[in-house]
Amino acid sequence: MIKKILIGLAGFLILAFIAFYFASKPTATKDGAYIPSPFALKLATSPTTDFDNTVYENPHTGNKKVLMVCTEERNMTMANGEKFSTGNHPVEMLLPILHLKNAGFDVDIVTPTGKSVKIEMWAMPEEDKNIKAMYSEYKQKFENPGKLSDFVQHSMTDSTDYVAIFIPGGHGAMLGLPDNKDLNKLLHWSHDNDMFTLAICHGPAALLAASLDSDKDSFIYKGYKIASFPDAVDEQGPMIGYTPGAMPWIYGERLNKLGVTIINEAADNTIHKDRKLITGASPQAANNFGKLAATELLKEVNK
């Protein structure tokens, strides 16, 4: 009897292992890249969000806006050569925009050269009516964004329309932005003009662009504390099939070397404000991140 039970248990464990093996394999896309496995998607995404539709007293009625800088690159080549199909995370873009819009701030969108914004559509919360409505409203802007290069060259110096720069997350924030010279100029312009900078999840990776023409001692964010997606969690990506291989480079470590401290250890709902830099740890932080950003921007314009 015991022998039969043990044989049955062994068979069950083998079947469970096989099921987990296939459920945790990243899913191939038509262009030869991979999106997260079914198991990873179940762990890391949700069909709804915690957007609470905050009503802001005395919303902004002027012309101040937020400039959102997005990635135009889709595939991240991992350390093993496999490609991860990424972009900007829809919740980390759209949920904060909902709060900014409720507070009276419109959002303009740019990519480095004006190519379309790449979005992790596999992370879209399909049952969230507010997020889906905002995506529909901004779809044309995502498909036809402005050029960051043009803004920096022709408009930035004289512009008084913007109260903040916003860099959403998704691993795509690590593609083409951390080494972008125009973003370097934009971040310095924002900092020098005492504007807010907003960055969530992997978005802080793009802050590395501010170091392109400086060393550790002159890095504008030296000494800052931020909330951001932890390197240690990225290391676990291949184990659950979130990514098809190890990360090609480690952005949090680079920020640490420049004097930035990441305050959270988990990919949780941590948010943080340090001077004019507002950050959040993950999609779980997007609602509170958006509320904090909207509240602080209203304080700024209502001074």
Structure tokens at 135: 């995506």
User: At what angle are helices 90-102 and 286-301 packed, to 10 degrees?
Assistant: 40
Q: Is the dihedral of CA 211, 216, 220, 226 positive or negative?
A: positive
Q: Please, are residues 98 and 166 in contact by the beta-carbon 8 Å criterion? A: no
Q: Please, are residues 221 and 207 in contact by the beta-carbon 8 Å criterion? A: yes
CA separation for the pair 233, 217 (Å, rounded): 29
Kindly give, in sequence order, each residue whose CB lies less than 8 Å from that of residue 29, ignoring residues fewer than 6 positions away: 35, 85
201 is catalytic: yes
Q: Please, are residues 280 and 286 in contact by the beta-carbon 8 Å criterion? A: yes
CA separation for the pair 90, 205 (Å, rounded): 17
Kindly give, in sequence order, each residue whose CB lies less than 8 Å from that of residue 116, ignoring residues fewer than 6 positions away: 72, 142, 143, 144, 145
Among 201, 210, 240, 286, the one annotated catalytic = 201
CA separation for the pair 177, 149 (Å, rounded): 12
Residues with a catalytic annotation lie at: 201
